[in-house]
């Protein structure tokens, strides 16, 4: 039974992770799809129609002719789309409005409606993990764009007077508010038919995206702030929609934030790079602290670690463990300083040091330097570290049920961990698409889950130790086991199995996602191989423990299980305290000697060590025959 279940469930885990691996490593073809052409066309009409018609009258025949041609072409192209009936209706509405010479305030909402429909039909946009340095982008612009668009983007280059239609004035803020970055990218990549805009096909994808972001920033150069990305808004949303559309789509977004993100898109790319996110949150924390907003500063410092650095820890640890530990120390010290007043100089100095360390880590973990062996090791360690303790909890429950002749109850344990797999992945998906789950919330979820599991496992260990005598166990079987293992208790076992696995799955998927963003598309096999190897190791351990533990005599089996349960409770209580400390729910008092044994949940804080010492003392009392909870028969 166990072999068959193992093959099926291992295959399920591999399939889930490989599925998400495929999503995040596949890249769309550079050639513009029909939907992308239509998106560009609709946006072009929405942005330039005001130059053709005003107050129901044509003010520029050439522009109006172009609007008429494009709207007719939009109808023709949408009719060729699969599942494009809604797009056809929107295109027909747009064509009629153009023919009726409706005002721009009527045309623009129709073009937005058409683009929103096309976005749903269009394949995902392939984006670089970062843009080129500003100086390089400005040089590219001068070499490829300034002759037509002018040195400052005002549409007044030396060739502009000879062109019809005239080149776009990128400083026109009203027009820029209706122009998306993907529209600019597509114009750079494919050119625009009927204009002097030719495809800059000699540039690579990163250069074209960098030019698109630069051209889209020119109208917003007066806004130099570092904005915070609104919850739920991805970089895909930002590049696919115009500023005006974004303002309507995200109620918490304002003109200032949109302008700052267009002028300085670094925060957008930080969400794809955990270390960049860490830097961004640290800088924001420092800014809040200097303004006297200490609570906000502390929250941002916590976020810098949990939403940023923690997601890159596994890869960095496989590459340079010392640097990983140094960054952890710096970020912890930074966080502790934010809770104290009058530490401006120390905090500023520590910020500079930490940013330098993070930059060093970024350079190490760039796609150009991260080796296949490093990715393999990081992938292997992620699953082994996150999966081992969950597997041991499930194993302990399964072996106890089998040994107590309740094989019929094993299905409840399996139901718990299988449902946890789906629930963990579903939670991750919801966090990416529907709701915002912060790193602190993730740690609270993990900490509370670990705490519950630790308490339950300690109780089960105490109960099992009381049954190590064979005669006592046989008597207990006869008197209690079938009565106490009721349906409610069995679902309780399923709940423990669920908790043990769910608390690991969500975080594991996040770690793999972060690892993929730090690798090239061609390196996905290294990550997959590390994952599969770890799965095989866990499966082998599962088989060995099942096989040999069930052969033990009842006394030795219960003794072994007691040690396992108490050891797991020791590990989990340490991890629970550490997670709640990271979430800023429990204070951190550093132990004089700095050490970490994360595999067994030991961290150098007084709070964590005290909790584990309590478990250790109680376990020793139980093992030497002293009942710390009295002599009452427990079930």
Joined tokens for residue 282: 């640290």
Partner residues linked to 53 by β-bridges: 58
The pLDDT, as a whole number, for residue 485 is 52
Query: Does position 329 have pLDDT exceeding 80, yes or no?
Result: yes
Q: What is the value of pTM for the model shown?
A: 0.47
Mind giving me the DSSP string for 94-157?
HHHHHHTT--HHHHHHHHHHHHHHHHHHSPPPP--SSPPPHHHHHHHHHHHTHHHH-TTSSS--
Number of H helices, E strands in the chain: 28, 4
Q: Output b/e per residue, 20-51; b: 16+ Cβ within 10 A.
A: bbeeebeeeeeebbbbbbbbbbbbbbbbbbbb
CA–CA dist 589, 605 (Å, integer): 5
Query: Does position 331 have pLDDT exceeding 80, yes or no?
Result: yes
Domains of the chain in sequence order: 2-22+370-623 (no CATH), 34-121 (1.20.120), 134-267 (1.10.760), 272-364 (1.20.120.660)
Query: Any alpha helices (H) in 241-320, and if so which ranges?
Result: 243-249, 255-263, 266-270, 274-290, 294-303, 313-319
- Token pair 């005001």 is at which residue? 50
The pLDDT, as a whole number, for residue 587 is 79
What are the strands, taking DSSP E only, across 331-479?
Answer: none
CA angle at 594 for the pair 588 and 599, rounded to the nearest 5°: 85
Kindly report, residue by residue over 524-558, the tens digit of the pLDDT. Answer: 788 888 889 988 988 888 888 777 776 766 666 66
CA angle at 141 for the pair 136 and 146, rounded to the nearest 5°: 150
Joined tokens for residue 602: 């030991």
Kindly report, residue by residue over 248-284, the tens digit of the pLDDT. Answer: 888 878 899 899 999 988 778 766 678 888 888 888 8
> Higher model confidence: residue 463 or residue 62?
62
Joined tokens for residue 43: 């946006």
The pLDDT, as a whole number, for residue 147 is 92
CA–CA dist 543, 551 (Å, integer): 13
Pair 301, 282: CB distance under 8 Å: yes
Torsions phi, psi for 549 (to 5 deg): -70, -35
φ/ψ region of 16 (left if φ > 0, alpha if ψ in -120 to 50, else beta) reads alpha
The pLDDT, as a whole number, for residue 555 is 66
The whole-number average pLDDT for the span 208-232 is 84
CA angle at 77 for the pair 71 and 79, rounded to the nearest 5°: 110
CA–CA dist 425, 423 (Å, integer): 6
Q: Which range, 39-43, 106-110, 163-167, 512-516, has the best average confidence (pLDDT)?
A: 106-110
């Amino acid at each position: 039974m166990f072999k068959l279940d193992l093959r099926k469930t291992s295959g399920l885990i591999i399939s889930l992770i490989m599925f998400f691996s495929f999503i995040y490593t596949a890249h769309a073809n550079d050639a513009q799809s029909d939907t992308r052409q239509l998106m560009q066309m609709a946006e072009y009409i929405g942005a330039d129609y005001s130059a053709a018609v005003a107050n129901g009258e044509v003010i520029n025949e050439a522009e109006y002719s172009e609007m008429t041609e494009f709207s007719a072409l939009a109808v023709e192209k949408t009719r060729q789309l699969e599942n494009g009936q809604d797009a056809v209706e929107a295109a027909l509405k747009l064509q009629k409005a153009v023919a009726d010479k409706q005002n721009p305030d009527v045309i623009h909402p129709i073009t937005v409606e058409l683009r929103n429909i096309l976005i749903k039909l269009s394949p995902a946009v392939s984006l670089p993990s970062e843009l080129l340095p500003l100086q390089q982008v400005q040089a590219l612009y001068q070499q490829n764009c300034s002759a037509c668009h002018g040195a400052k983007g005002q549409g007044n280059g030396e060739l502009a007077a000879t062109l019809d239609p005239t080149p776009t004035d990128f400083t026109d803020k009203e027009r820029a508010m209706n122009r998306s970055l993907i529209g600019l990218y597509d114009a750079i990549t494919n050119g625009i038919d009927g204009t002097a805009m030719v495809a800059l096909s000699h540039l690579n994808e990163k250069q074209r995206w960098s030019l698109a972001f630069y051209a889209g920033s020119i109208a917003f150069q007066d806004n130099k702030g570092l904005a915070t990305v609104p919850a739920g808004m991805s970089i895909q949303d930002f590049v696919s929609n115009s500023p005006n559309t974004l303002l309507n789509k995200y109620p918490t977004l304002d003109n200032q934030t949109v302008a700052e993100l267009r002028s300085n898109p670094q925060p957008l790319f930080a969400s794809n790079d955990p270390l960049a996110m860490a830097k961004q949150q640290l800088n924001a924390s420092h800014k809040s602290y200097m303004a006297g907003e200490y609570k906000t500063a502390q929250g941002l410092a916590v976020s810098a670690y949990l939403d940023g650095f923690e997601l890159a820890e596994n890869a960095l640890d496989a590459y340079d463990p010392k640097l990983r530990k140094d960054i952890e120390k710096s970020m912890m010290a930074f966080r502790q300083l934010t809770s104290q007043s009058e530490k401006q100089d120390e905090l500023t100095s520590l910020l500079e040091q930490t940013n330098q360390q993070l930059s060093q880590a970024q350079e190490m973990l760039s796609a150009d330097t991260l080796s296949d062996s490093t990715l393999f090791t990081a992938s292997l360690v992620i699953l082994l570290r996150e999966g081992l303790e969950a597997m041991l909890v499930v194993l302990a429950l399964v072996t106890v049920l089998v040994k107590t002749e309740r094989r019929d109850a094993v299905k409840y344990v399996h139901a718990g961990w299988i449902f946890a797999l789906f629930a963990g992945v579903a939670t991750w998906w919801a966090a990416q698409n529907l709701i915002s789950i912060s790193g602190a919330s993730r740690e609270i979820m993990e900490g509370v889950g670990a705490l519950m599991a630790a308490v339950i496992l300690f109780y089960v260990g105490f109960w099992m130790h009381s049954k190590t005598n064979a005669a006592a166990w046989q008597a207990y079987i006869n008197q209690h086991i079938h009565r106490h293992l009721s349906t409610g208790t069995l679902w309780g076992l399923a709940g423990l199995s669920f908790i043990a696995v769910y608390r690991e799955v969500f975080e594991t998927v996040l770690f793999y996602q972060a690892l993929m963003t730090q690798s090239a598309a061609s390196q996905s096999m290294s990550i997959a191989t590390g994952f599969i190897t770890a799965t095989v190791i866990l499966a082998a351990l599962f088989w060995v423990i099942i096989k040999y533990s069930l052969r033990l005599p009842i006394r030795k089996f219960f003794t072994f299980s007691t040690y396992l349960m108490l050891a797991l409770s020791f590990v989990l209580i340490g991890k629970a305290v550490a997670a709640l400390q990271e979430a800023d729910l429990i204070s951190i008092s550093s132990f004089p000697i700095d050490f970490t044994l994360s595999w067994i949940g030991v961290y150098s804080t007084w709070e964590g060590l005290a909790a584990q010492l309590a478990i250790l003392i109680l376990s020793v009392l139980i093992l030497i025959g002293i009942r710390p909870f009295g002599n009452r028969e427990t079930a």
